[in-house]
């Protein structure tokens, strides 16, 4: 993809964040959505196959195809082992998905060309940093008894991924950098993120409605269990299409915070003025 005009740096109000989010996503939809969907396919296939396998086991048991409890336990053990391997593969792919999409968003905002190879190389280089950040966020969610504390910390780390891919620093430094950018603007950042999550959820619900209609049509020609399995797989793919919306908002918030805290819009203005030819008297 060729270079595009960079994001015009300025303090962004809520309406500006919405406009820029969908403009940037629309401009790079094929590449960003394509990569996001590609990484979600293994998990979608696992979910669809899992539903089909469980229903098949239940039907066989009810029909007498599996005669003993030991046979049922063996079959369920095999399914659980398959699920475990599948989820490990999905966890391994998740940092690549996040990294590739965030890198593409950052480069597009900076006006740099974005290519599939560049996205994958950047995601691989920063794989351990992104994996560490995701793992830390999940562990906090599991072990923190206070949900508000978890939200407070994650909002403070809203710029971690954009910092990693824009400023080329490690995870620890990026966490501290994000925390310093958000300091004093936590509530504004939280409200914008909440709005973007609500929009993402609304779009997902709309897509889910179409998928549910498709499931109903499929159930006319296929069994209900197969139609439901296809629906579950398609729902995961659909969520992969919408999830970059929140990541784009996070990148925009990163640049907005830098404008408000560091005045980087003035550097962009000075650079553009230096490139203009002198006026002829």
Residues 46 and 55: their CA atoms lie apart, in Å, by 14
Q: Which residue has the tokens 């401009």?
A: 27
End-to-end CA distance of the chain: 40
| Nearest to 249, CA basis, from 40, 102, 78, 57 | 102
Mean pLDDT of 17-46: 87
Where helices occur in 111-243 by DSSP H, the ranges are 116-125, 127-143, 147-156, 160-167, 171-182, 186-221, 224-242
Residue 281 near residue 239, CB atoms below 8 Å: no
- Which pLDDT does position 100 carry in this prediction? 93
| Residue 267 reports pLDDT greater than 60 | no
71-123 per-position pLDDT tens digit: 556 656 656 666 667 677 778 888 999 999 999 999 988 888 888 899 999 99
- Which pLDDT does position 281 carry in this prediction? 37
DSSP single-letter state for residue 64: T
Residues whose CB is less than 8 angstroms from the CB of residue 279 and which lie 6 or more positions away in sequence, other chains included: none
Residue 106 near residue 119, CB atoms below 8 Å: no
151-187 per-position pLDDT tens digit: 899 999 999 999 999 998 999 999 999 999 999 999 9
- Which pLDDT does position 275 carry in this prediction? 42
188-228 per-position pLDDT tens digit: 999 999 999 999 888 888 887 887 787 777 777 776 767 77
- Which pLDDT does position 187 carry in this prediction? 94
Sign of the alpha-carbon dihedral angle for 181, 189, 18, 200: positive
Residues 65 and 119: their CA atoms lie apart, in Å, by 49
Residue 106 near residue 165, CB atoms below 8 Å: yes
Beta strand extents in 175-275 (DSSP E only): none
Spacing of C-alpha 198 from chain mean position: 15
Q: With bands split at pLDDT 50, 70 and 90, how would you rate the model's confidence at 246? A: very high
Q: Which residue has the tokens 């029909």?
A: 63
Mean pLDDT of 63-75: 56
Burial state string for 249-266 with b = 16 or more CB within 10 A and e = fewer than 16: bbbbbbbbbbbbeeeebe
Whole-prediction pTM = 0.83
DSSP string, 213-232: HHHHHHHHHS-HHHHHHHHH
């Amino acid at each position: 993809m060729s270079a595009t005009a960079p994001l015009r740096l300025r303090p962004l109000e809520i309406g500006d964040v919405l406009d820029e989010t969908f403009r940037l996503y629309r401009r790079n939809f094929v590449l960003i959505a394509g990569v996001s969907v590609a990484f979600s396919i293994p998990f979608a296939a696992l979910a669809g196959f899992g539903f089909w396998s469980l229903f098949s086991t239940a039907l066989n048991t009810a029909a007498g195809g599996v005669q003993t409890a030991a046979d049922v336990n063996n079959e369920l053990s095999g399914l659980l082992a398959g699920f475990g391997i599948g989820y490990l593969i999905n966890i391994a792919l998740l940092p690549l998905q996040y990294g590739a999409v965030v890198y593409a968003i950052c480069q597009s905002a900076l006006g740099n060309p974005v290519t599939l190879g560049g996205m994958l190389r950047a995601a691989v280089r920063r794989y351990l940093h992104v994996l560490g950040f995701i793992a830390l966020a999940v562990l906090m969610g599991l072990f923190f008894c206070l949900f508000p504390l978890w939200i407070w910390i994650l909002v403070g780390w809203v710029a971690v991924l954009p910092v990693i891919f824009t400023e080329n620093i490690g995870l620890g430094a990026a966490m501290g950098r994000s925390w310093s950018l958000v300091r004093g603007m936590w509530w504004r950042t939280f409200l914008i993120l909440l709005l973007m999550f609500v929009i993402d959820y609304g779009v997902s619900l709309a897509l889910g409605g179409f998928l549910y209609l498709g499931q109903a049509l499929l159930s006319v020609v296929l069994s209900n269990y197969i139609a439901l399995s296809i629906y579950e797989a398609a729902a995961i793919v659909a969520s992969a299409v919408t999830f970059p919306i929140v990541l784009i908002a996070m990148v925009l918030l990163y640049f907005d915070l830098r404008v408000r805290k560091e005045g980087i819009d003035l550097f962009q203005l000075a650079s553009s003025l230096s490139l203009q030819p002198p006026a002829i008297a």
